[in-house]
Amino acid sequence: MRILGIDPGYGITGFGLIEAQRADMRLLRCGAITTPPNTDFPWRLEVIYRDMTELLRMAQPEAVAIEELFFGHNVTTGINVAQSRGVILLAVRQAGVPIFEYKPMQVKQAVVGYGNASKHQVMDMTMRLLRLDALPKPDDAADAIAIALCHARSSTSLLARANHTL
């Protein structure tokens, strides 16, 4: 299964495309969609939408895994990320690809086995699972790969299979 992981943002949106066949997983491609700061925000959203549409066309994923929003102290940033996430979800829906959403704690649990794992632990395990020599850059792409791994590991669990038969 080809899984596209997305770490949404409006300055940097990370993506990671993996191929997962049971326990065998490999990284196919990763990177980021970027928009320059201090530019018109609606224009930035258009760039994200257009680039995401092109990425989906090129990558041909069978599933998209995206991180759910976590609102910290900066509500304005959270609102802007939510708008970015909205145009990403629209592009994915228009492409007809199933969307799976994961909370940060779910990603940590699926990748490391511990929901309160540190970012370093998640990145270390991501490298081990994919047999990588170095951590992909930028960090947003590495985060997106972990989100894709979360879906790969979650979707193959016995519980997920049982829920599909209901």
Asked if residues 31 and 5 have their Cβ atoms less than 8 Å apart, the reply is no
Q: How far apart are the C-alpha atoms of 163 and 92, rounded to whole Å?
A: 23
Measured CA angle at 105 (ends 63, 10), to 5 deg: 65
Question: Both ends of the chain: CA-CA distance in Å?
Answer: 22
Rg (C-alpha) for the chain, rounded Å, is 15
Report the C-alpha gap between 146 and 36 in whole angstroms.
25
Active site residues: 7, 67, 140
**Is 52 within 8 Å of 90 (Cβ atoms)?**
no
77: enclosing H helix or E strand = helix 75-95
User: Taking a C-beta distance cutoff of 8 angstroms, is the pair 108, 114 a contact?
Assistant: yes
